[in-house]
């Protein structure tokens, strides 16, 4: 049996690459594993050799020490791999298949899964609906920033690529199907983007860039991206977006008016989440900034897609309310403008097959949009450090050096 190496959280601001157990078709005890999940048998699962696994902004929240994640937690929920072993209950996925893994873990059997709400599956996390790999308070399923990983409910969840050679040619695009491309698309779709829409995207990190590209795919006439880091905004410009540097220009409505002639957009997307900053040169953390600003610049009866991560506990928050996930949002403004809000994890399985076909047939170029950058497993700590500095890159880890 081969060994296994993985990227693990090692305390605030630190990750490490460590030797770890080769996965089994059972959930063993370990850092972050819910006690009620220990010993859970997964004969419906598979063991994957990881081909690519990406660093996500959601991982970065944990690494900054902004959650209750325990040290030793193996990170990573964006996984693409080759099937090495199948459980006795797996019927349709075969050894050798190359697959994308949705970051939501979903059983396929509960009411929510039957209604396509795979982001809030009722059977995978004993604490509350919804689960993910390598993430705090998500049931303790072991993360996939590793050489090998176990994936449960394989027949239901896994997206098989039709041709392995074709998939490897497009691997930097296809690796985005596990999370950020469906997440960005969900943000745009749930914001009501349609042909001719004007769209504002808050945040030019990878999810924001994916949302901007998705808005273009949905037919938006203008996509405006706002951020505090000029390098990220240059990346948004590279595929046709208008941009606003909110470090330099703190009046978002005024900047939108200069672009569109009016200070409002049809649709807005929050791709920032709970670590939001205020606007302007001296701005500091202000977690409700994005939610309040997009309500302000979205027209009456408009829709707000909110794929940015918000948490129920934020020990490092700026005030006591925010530490419990309570933010000072102008809900009355949203009510008065009859806004529609769509929040929560993205139900990846609603979108990933269609987005795969868009990639394979040359309609979507998500790797270019997010500036996919390949690194080795050993370079993961450096990748986390660079990502935290705000570089305009989406880091793709290549555990076995196959790219």
**For the chain, which domains are there?**
4-179+347-398 (3.90.180.10), 181-343 (3.40.50.720)
Q: Classify residue 164 as exposed, middle or buried by CB count within 10 Å of its CB (0-12, 13-18, 19+).
A: middle
pLDDT value at residue 67: 87
pLDDT value at residue 317: 85
What is the CA 61 to chain-centroid distance, rounded?
Answer: 12
Q: State the chain's mean pLDDT as an integer.
A: 96
The pLDDT-based confidence of 46 (bands split at 50, 70, 90) is very high
| pLDDT beyond 90 at 381 | yes
How confident is the model over 89-97, as a mean pLDDT?
Answer: 98
Answer yes or no: are the C-beta atoms of 295 and 339 closer than 8 Å. Answer: yes
Q: How far, in Å, CA of 128 to CA of 310, rounded?
A: 15
- For residue 222, what are the β-bridge partners? 198
* Rounded (10°) CA dihedral 114, 344, 238, 167: -30
| pLDDT beyond 90 at 352 | yes
pLDDT value at residue 125: 96
pLDDT value at residue 298: 98
Phi, psi of 100 (to 5 degrees): -105, 140
| pLDDT beyond 80 at 140 | yes
How confident is the model over 387-394, as a mean pLDDT?
Answer: 94
The pLDDT-based confidence of 269 (bands split at 50, 70, 90) is very high
289-297 vs 252-260: helix crossing angle, rounded to 10: 40
The pLDDT-based confidence of 378 (bands split at 50, 70, 90) is very high
User: 4-37 in b/e burial notation, b at 16+ Cβ within 10 A?
Assistant: bbbbbbbeeeebebeebeebebebeeeebbbeeb
| pLDDT beyond 90 at 319 | no
Phi, psi of 36 (to 5 degrees): -75, -10
**Rg from Cα positions in the chain:** 20
The pLDDT-based confidence of 1 (bands split at 50, 70, 90) is low
Please tell me the pTM assigned to this model: 0.96
């Amino acid at each position: 049996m081969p060994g296994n190496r993985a990227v693990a959280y090692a305390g605030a601001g630190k990750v490490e690459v460590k030797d770890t157990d080769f996965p089994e078709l059972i959930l063993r005890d370990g850092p972050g594993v819910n006690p009620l999940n220990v010993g859970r048998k997964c004969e419906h699962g598979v063991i994957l050799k990881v081909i690519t696994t990406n660093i996500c902004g959601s991982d970065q929240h944990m690494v900054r020490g902004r959650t209750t994640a325990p040290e030793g937690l193996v990170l990573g929920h964006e996984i693409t791999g080759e099937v090495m072993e199948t459980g006795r209950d797996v019927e349709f996925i075969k050894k050798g298949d190359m697959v994308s893994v949705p970051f939501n873990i979903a059983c396929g059997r509960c009411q929510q899964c039957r209604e396509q709400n795979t982001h809030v599956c009722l059977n995978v996390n004993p604490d509350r609906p919804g689960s993910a790999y390598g993430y705090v308070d998500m049931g303790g399923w072991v993360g996939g920033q590793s050489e090998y990983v176990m994936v449960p409910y394989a027949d239901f969840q896994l997206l098989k690529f039709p041709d392995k050679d074709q998939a490897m040619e497009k691997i930097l695009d296809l690796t985005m199907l596990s999370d950020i491309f469906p997440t960005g698309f969900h943000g745009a779709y749930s914001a009501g983007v349609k042909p001719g829409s004007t769209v504002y995207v808050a945040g030019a990190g990878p999810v924001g860039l994916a949302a901007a590209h998705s808005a273009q795919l949905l037919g938006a006439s203008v996509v405006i991206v706002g951020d505090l880091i000029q390098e990220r905004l240059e990346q948004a410009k590279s595929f046709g977006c208008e941009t606003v540097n909110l470090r330099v220009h703190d009046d978002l409505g005024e900047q939108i008016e200069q672009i569109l002639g009016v200070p409002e957009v049809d649709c807005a997307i929050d791709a920032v989440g709970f670590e939001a900053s205020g606007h302007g040169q001296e701005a500091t953390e202000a977690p409700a900034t994005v939610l309040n600003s997009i309500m302000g610049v979205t027209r009456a009866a408009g829709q707000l897609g909110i794929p940015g991560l918000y948490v129920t506990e934020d020990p490092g928050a700026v005030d006591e309310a925010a530490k419990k996930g309570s933010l000072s949002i102008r809900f009355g403004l949203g009510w008065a403008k009859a806004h529609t809000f769509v929040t929560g994890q993205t139900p990846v399985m609603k979108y990933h097959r269609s987005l795969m076909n868009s990639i394979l047939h040359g309609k979507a170029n998500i790797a270019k949009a997010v500036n996919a950058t390949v690194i080795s497993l050993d370079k993961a700590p450096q990748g986390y450090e660079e990502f935290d500095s705000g570089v305009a890159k989406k880091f793709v880890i290549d555990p076995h050096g196959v790219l």
